[in-house]
Amino acid sequence: MENNHSEKVQLLIIGSGPAGYTAAIYAARANLKPVLYQGIQPGGQLTITTEVENYPGYADGVQGPEMMVDFEKQAKRMGADVRFGMATAADLSSVPFKITIDEEKIIEAEAVIISTGASARWLNLESEQRLNGYGVSACAVCDGFFFKGQEVVIVGGGDTACEEALYLSKICSTVHMLVRRDEMRASKIMQQRVDKTPNIIVYWNTEAVEVLGKQKVEGVKIKNRKSGEESVIPVKAFFVAIGHTPNSDIFKGQINMDEQGYIKTINGSAKTNIEGVFAAGDVQDKTYRQAVTAAGSGCMAALDAERYLSAKEA
Ligand code: NDP
pLDDT one-digit tens code per residue, 8-24: 999 999 999 999 999 99
pLDDT tens digits along 70-95? 999 999 999 999 999 999 999 999 99
Domains plus CATH for the chain? 6-119+244-313 (3.50.50.60), 122-240 (3.50.50.60)
What's residue 4's pLDDT? 63
**Selected residue with higher pLDDT from 289 and 146:** 146
In this structure, which residue's CA is closest to atom 21 in ligand 1? 156
**Selected residue with higher pLDDT from 1 and 146:** 146
Rounded distance between C-alpha atoms, residue 255 and residue 274, angstroms:
7
Q: Please tell me whether the overall predicted TM-score, pTM, comes out greater than 0.85 for this model.
A: no
Ligand 1 within 6 A of 123 CB? yes
What's residue 3's pLDDT? 53
pLDDT at 44 over 70: yes
pLDDT tens digits along 147-171? 999 999 999 999 989 999 999 999 9
Average pLDDT value for residue range 254-262: 96
Pocket test for ligand 1, best of 180, 223, 239 (most atoms within 8 A of CB): 180
Ligand 1 within 6 A of 64 CB? no
Average pLDDT value for residue range 251-265: 97
In this prediction, residue 53 has a pLDDT band, given cuts at 50, 70 and 90, of confident
pLDDT tens digits along 207-252? 999 999 999 999 999 999 999 999 999 999 999 999 889 999 999 9
Rounded distance between C-alpha atoms, residue 150 and residue 172, angstroms:
5
What's residue 120's pLDDT? 84
Pocket test for ligand 1, best of 50, 242, 244, 289 (most atoms within 8 A of CB): 242
Share the mean pLDDT of the chain: 95
pLDDT at 181 over 90: yes
What's residue 52's pLDDT? 83
Percent of the chain with pLDDT over 70: 98
Average pLDDT value for residue range 43-63: 87
pLDDT at 47 over 90: no
d(CA 159, ligand 1 centre) in Å: 6
Q: Which residues are catalytic?
A: 139, 142-143
Query: Between vectors from CA 142 to CA 138 and to CA 143, what angle results, nearest 5°?
Result: 75
Rounded distance between C-alpha atoms, residue 19 and residue 41, angstroms:
14
